[in-house]
């Protein structure tokens, strides 16, 4: 098992970072919040989990060991693969997920793309004795409250990809109506999706 990777950041993409380890570029799948904290050329250390499939080896990266452990525990529930587990951690911090499960907060789980009402009910039952009790005073949705808002995360990610501050400002403004629509419907803006849309607007203007 690869427990962590450490080295300079060679590249950052909408859902992947490349960390140079001993002269080898390791592609690591990360959440938008984790990617927003990385800068090309700077040192980074990511806790990792290697997912082995018949046709692929995929390395998932996390800001800390707690997030990695939550990622692995979430996959012990039926129907939860690595992508859905990562999506859950993109919306909620590990402690917020523990609180949501311990209190039976169905709404917190349905805020994750790909989880419907029935799926949330099943996950609450299956994960109740697996994730454990909250470690702090987190509330569901604490990821967006504790971390920078979607616009700050998006702006930081764009600058990290090499765009000028002015270009990042314009791209954030271009996708703001889409994010506001999502919030008006009671959802949570997904930074990864907004980043793809922002990159499309930047490519059209170049």
Q: What is the DSSP string of 94-124?
A: HHHHHHHHHTT-HHHHHTSTT--HHHHHHHH
Reading the chain (206 residues) residue by residue, the pLDDT tens digits are: 789 999 999 999 888 999 999 999 999 999 888 888 888 999 999 999 999 988 889 999 999 999 999 999 999 999 999 999 998 998 888 888 999 898 899 988 998 888 999 999 999 999 988 887 777 644 444 444 334 577 887 887 777 777 788 888 888 899 998 888 888 887 777 777 788 888 888 876 55
Q: Which domain holds residue 88?
A: 65-144
Last residue of a domain, which of 92, 110, 144? Answer: 144
Residues 58 and 50 sit within 8 Å (Cβ to Cβ): yes
Q: How far apart are CA 18 and CA 57, in angstroms?
A: 15
Domain count, the chain: 3
Convert 157-171 to b/e letters by CB count within 10 Å (16 or more is b).
bbbbbebeeebbebb
Residues near 172 by beta carbon (within 8 Å), at least 6 away in sequence: 151, 154, 155, 158, 198
**Tokens 């920078």 -> residue:** 148
Check whether residue 72 and residue 23 sit in a common domain: no
Check whether residue 50 and residue 81 sit in a common domain: no
CATH classification at residue 72: 1.10.150.20
Check whether residue 134 and residue 88 sit in a common domain: yes
CATH classification at residue 57: 2.40.50.140
State the pTM of this model.
Answer: 0.67
């Amino acid at each position: 098992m690869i427990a962590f990777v450490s080295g300079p950041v060679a590249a950052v993409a909408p859902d992947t970072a490349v960390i140079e380890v001993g002269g080898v570029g390791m592609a690591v799948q990360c959440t938008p919040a984790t990617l927003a904290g990385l800068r090309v050329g700077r040192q980074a250390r990511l806790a990792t989990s290697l997912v082995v499939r018949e046709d692929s080896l995929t390395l998932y990266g996390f800001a800390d060991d707690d997030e990695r452990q939550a990622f692995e525990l979430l996959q012990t529930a039926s129907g939860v693969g690595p992508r859905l587990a990562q999506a859950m951690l993109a919306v909620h911090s590990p402690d917020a997920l523990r609180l949501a499960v311990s209190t039976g907060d169905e709404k917190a789980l349905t805020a994750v793309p790909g989880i419907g009402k029935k799926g949330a009910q099943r996950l609450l039952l299956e994960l109740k004795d697996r994730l454990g009790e909250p470690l702090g005073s987190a509330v569901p949705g604490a990821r967006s409250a504790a971390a920078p808002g979607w616009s700050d995360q998006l702006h930081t990610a764009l600058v990290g990809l090499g765009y000028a501050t002015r270009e990042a400002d314009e791209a954030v403004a271009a996708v703001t109506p889409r994010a506001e629509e999502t919030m008006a419907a009671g959802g949570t803006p997904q930074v990864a999706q907004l980043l793809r849309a922002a990159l499309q607007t930047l490519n059209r203007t170049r």
